[in-house]
Amino acid sequence: MPVTTADKRVAFHRLHESGCFIIPNPFDVGSARALQHLGFKALASTSAGFAWTIAKADNRVTVDEVCDHLTALCAAVDIPVNADYEGGFAVEPEKVGVNVAKGVKTGVAGLSIQDSTGDKAKPLYDSALAIERIRAARKAIGDSNVMLTGRCEAYLVGKPDLGFVIERLNAYSEAGADCLYAPGIKTKEDIAAIVKAVHPKPVNLLIGASGLSLKEAGDLGVRRISVGGSLARSAWGGFMKAAREMAEQGTFTELGSGYPGGELNKMFSG
């Protein structure tokens, strides 16, 4: 029996009810199918990873490009997909709402809205505007059962102020966010404090190469773990290493490190 969008959205909410799960970030249809094949229960898009596949820098893609990408991801897998929806591709709350409505139509089970502006002089939206943007996203989601994640980017823009982050996350929760996320937090103390402050809402934790384990994060009360553009960077790492060897040395030894083509064909033949 085919898995419907409604099924995926229900399943996504259930995943957040207990325990801690990994929500890895594919960057195209093939990587999404591979992650489903490995048994992951949900996926999350990556703004950076996708941007690089179309030769753009992160935060330089359009809402239509992202929505086409999300539509393809959702159609390719039978598990929920959460969208990295950047800042809603607009400043004004009403325009964020219009764009979120477009995102809902792609079939995603969830999406996140962040509060960074992209302006180095003023990297975060004022609190009142940031809250209204979350409230507009919540209204646009309506009764679709799409999970809304509110993101505070303070740690990523050079403002590692735990009290500030907690205040914002709680405000986003009150404005309608179902899940809270502060990418860049690293210490166990900060993570535990955020989990406690926003309880009972679930917390998403970004983990990179030097991060905690699934068990360690779960013990702190984290509900889900994403890895952002790390998988995409890993793929590009292998590609660039082999390509540089060919370009600079005229040798091909790194090509021997590739994943077996037969295994890839087997994985995608189903």
Report the percentage of the chain scoring pLDDT > 90. Answer: 97
Q: Which CATH number among 1.10.260.40, 3.40.50.2000, 3.20.20.80, 3.20.20.60 corresponds to the domain 5-228?
A: 3.20.20.60
- Look up tokens 């003023």; give the residue: 122
Distance, CA of 124 to CA of 151 (rounded, Å): 11
- Reported as a single tens digit per residue, the pLDDT across 173-217 is 999 999 999 999 999 999 999 999 999 999 999 998 668 999 999
Amino acid at 234: S
**pLDDT band with cut points at 50, 70 and 90 for residue 2:** confident
Distance, CA of 202 to CA of 170 (rounded, Å): 12
Q: What pLDDT, on a 0 to 100 scale, did the predictor assign at position 124?
A: 98
List where CATH 3.20.20.60 sits in the chain.
Answer: 5-228
Q: What pLDDT, on a 0 to 100 scale, did the predictor assign at position 211?
A: 81
Contact 179, 204 (CB under 8 A): yes
Q: What pLDDT, on a 0 to 100 scale, did the predictor assign at position 20?
A: 98
Mean local confidence (pLDDT), 216-233 = 97
DSSP structure string for the chain:
-PPPHHHHHHHHHHHTSSS-EE----SSHHHHHHHHHTT-S-EE--HHHHHHHTT--TT---HHHHHHHHHHHHHH-SS-EEEE-TTTT-SSHHHHHHHHHHHHTTT-SEEEEE-B-S-TTS-B--HHHHHHHHHHHHHHHTTS-PEEEEE--GGGGT---HHHHHHHHHHHHHTT-SEEE-TT--SHHHHHHHHHHHTTS-EEEE--TTS--HHHHHHTT--EEE-TTHHHHHHHHHHHHHHHHHHHHS--GGGGGSPPHHHHHHHT--
Instruction: Walk across the sheet containing 147-151 and list its strands.
Output: 21-22, 224-226, 203-206, 179-181, 147-151, 110-114, 81-84, 43-44
Is pLDDT of 1 > 90?
A: no
Contact 13, 145 (CB under 8 A): yes
Query: Do β-strands 203-206 and 179-181 pair in parallel, antiparallel, or remain unpaired?
Result: parallel
Distance, CA of 163 to CA of 136 (rounded, Å): 25
- Reported as a single tens digit per residue, the pLDDT across 99-134 is 999 999 999 999 999 999 999 999 999 999 999 999
Mean local confidence (pLDDT), 52-68 = 97
Distance, CA of 246 to CA of 171 (rounded, Å): 52
Distance, CA of 259 to CA of 100 (rounded, Å): 37
Mean local confidence (pLDDT), 42-55 = 98
Distance, CA of 201 to CA of 198 (rounded, Å): 6
- Reported as a single tens digit per residue, the pLDDT across 81-100 is 999 999 999 999 999 999 99
